[in-house]
Amino acid sequence: MKFTVAIDGPAAAGKGTISRAIARHFGFAHLDTGLLYRAVGMKGGDPVEAARSLTDADLRRDDLRSLEAGQAASRVATIPEVRAALADFQRRFARREGGAVLDGRDIGTVICPQAEVKLYVTASPEMRARRRWLELGGEAAPRSLDQVLAEVRERDARDMNRAEAPLRPAPDAVILDTSDLSVDQAVARAIEIVQSRLNAQ
């Protein structure tokens, strides 16, 4: 069975958590496509060559979840040649047997416009900044909550206004706003949406 779940949304909205939970629940393969861009950004050198020569080892770096890697990913993701080099890999992954969940910024709009399920996971910038700040250590974090909020807004502006594959919901995506939902509530709602599409197959 080939069944693709495309999950898009801005940073720290909860799409990674939701994607992993869906993959576990249904036994689907999972790909965090942002890791591909983070790995390219952190390799350094020519980003296009880095994208073309990406290895499994590059995806296992222990600094790919850092704020620095996120900013690097956002910068290299604006380069059309980088996106093209990574698009084929993502499309092959999406149509593997047994089902696949991909999360990123342009999965439902560019990579997998024919996905069986498209979710756009979002939350207010303030809520997303607070989540990221708590991830970084809260009061012990190296950045203040205001600094993290400024970085979230800057990342949003870059992702939403880039010329190549800007971040936006696909026209037929289900919008899932997690601002006022617990993790369990958001996951349950997402699973319900996927199950309803599977039932309709």
Domain positions in the chain are: 4-199
Q: Does 11 belong to an annotated binding site?
A: yes
Q: Does 169 belong to an annotated binding site?
A: no
pTM of the model: 0.85
Distance CA 170, CA 95 (A): 19
Q: Does 9 belong to an annotated binding site?
A: yes
Query: Does the pLDDT of residue 56 top 80, yes or no?
Result: no
CA-based angle 22:28:30, to the nearest 5?
75
Distance CA 120, CA 38 (A): 21
How much of the chain, in percent, has pLDDT values that exceed 90?
Answer: 76
Q: Does 17 belong to an annotated binding site?
A: yes
Q: Does 44 belong to an annotated binding site?
A: no
Q: Does 72 belong to an annotated binding site?
A: no
The domain covering 4-199 belongs, at the CATH homologous superfamily level, to: P-loop containing nucleotide triphosphate hydrolases (3.40.50.300)
Mean pLDDT of 52-78: 89
Report the run of H or E that residue 68 belongs to, with start and end. Answer: helix 67-76
CA-based angle 112:160:138, to the nearest 5?
105
pLDDT of residue 162: 85
Q: Does 178 belong to an annotated binding site?
A: no
If phi > 0 it is left, if psi is from -120 to 50 it is alpha, else beta; for residue 61 that is beta
Q: What is the pLDDT of residues 103-133, one digit of tens each?
A: 998 999 999 999 999 999 999 999 999 999 9
